[in-house]
A = this chain, B = another copy of it.
Amino acid sequence: MVLYLIGLGLSDEKNITIRGLEYIKESDYVYMEYYTSILTVDKTILEKYYNKEIILADREMIESNFDKEILEKAKTKKVSLLVVGDPFSATTHMDLYLRCINEGVKVETVHNASILNSIGITGLSLYRFGETVSIPFFTEKWRPYSFYDKICVNYNNDFHTLVLLDIKVKEISEENLIKGKKIYEKPRFMSVNIGLEELLEASKNCQREDYRNLINEDNLCFGVARIGSDNQIIKAGKIKDIIKMDFGNPLHSIVICGKTLFNIEKEVFDFYLKKSS
């Protein structure tokens, strides 16, 4: 019958739109995707707020069992799939959208705020952002630096870079994977501090000489946490200062500023800098 792809916005239960809430209330099944991002409130709070049971959809359900578990139901029933932020901030959901359309299932989308536009609260012009990058948790052997090159491309074009930080929910450790044990690790959320450490490591070891140390301790950046919530934190400064600050609970993100800050951008940067120190 229909799949409602509903963005929840950021932080808590009250950032859903009126239309989104209406769709949930008329749904027969309500799923919530919870591996690309999370809200700061618990599922039980949402269930109470919606007066509906919520089925959590992890990576496995979305990437491997979507057709069987969700699409099949949406052929005859009203099904909501809740996504933190905006449904199409991750291309994963566009894939689900297409699969539904191809099976003749109608899809209704409810847009909402995501970190990609809410980061405008830093005062940086959203128009001046280049490619968005993600920093993954390094392991002992796997330390991919490709995200760093992208930041340099943006920087050389005088674009700002939004840096999203890794989230590990319901991951299985390499060790357990080899043993065939389905034991999930504790969720991990990358902090601003770890993100900046990895960034500086990538900068120091970058293959391209012209990019090596291009972004360094003295570059201007923002560290932000829990954007959109009552206790959001926004700190501006040099990397070497921000890297020492405590941002508390997840989710965190980073912005590496472009080469120049325009008038109002500079003014807001200084405002946050003063507040940070």
Q: Is A112 on the interface with B (CB-CB < 8 A)?
A: yes
Residue of B nearest to A162 (CB): B127
Asked whether A111 and B157 contact (CB < 8 A) given A91-B264, A98-B268, A132-B127, the answer is: no
For the complex formed, measure the closest distance between the CB of A205 and the CB atoms of chain B, giving whole angstroms: 23
Within 8 A of B (CB), among A80-125: 86-89, 91, 94-95, 98, 101, 109-114, 116-118, 120-121, 123, 125
Q: Is A17 on the interface with B (CB-CB < 8 A)?
A: yes
Q: Is A247 on the interface with B (CB-CB < 8 A)?
A: no
B112 touching A113, Cβ below 8 Å: yes
Q: How large is the interface on A (under 10, 10 to 19, 20 to 34, 35 or more residues)?
A: 35 or more
Q: Is A259 on the interface with B (CB-CB < 8 A)?
A: no
A15 touching B15, Cβ below 8 Å: no
For the complex formed, measure the closest distance between the CB of A86 and the CB atoms of chain B, giving whole angstroms: 5
Main secondary structure of the interface of A (DSSP, over half): helix
Q: Is A267 on the interface with B (CB-CB < 8 A)?
A: yes
Task: Give the segment of A18-26, A166-174, A194-202, A213-221 that binds chain B.
Answer: A18-26
Residues of B within 8 A of A19 (CB): 14-15
B264 touching A94, Cβ below 8 Å: yes
Docked complex Cα distance between A111 and B85 (Å): 10
Docked complex Cα distance between A109 and B133 (Å): 26
Docked complex Cα distance between A111 and B98 (Å): 28
Docked complex Cα distance between A16 and B169 (Å): 30
Residues of B within 8 A of A54 (CB): none
Partner of A131, one of B109, B118, B128: B128
Q: Mark A11-53, 1 if CB is under 8 A from B, else 0.
A: 0011111110110000000000000000000000000000000
For the complex formed, measure the closest distance between the CB of A98 and the CB atoms of chain B, giving whole angstroms: 6
Residues of B within 8 A of A86 (CB): 113, 117-118, 120
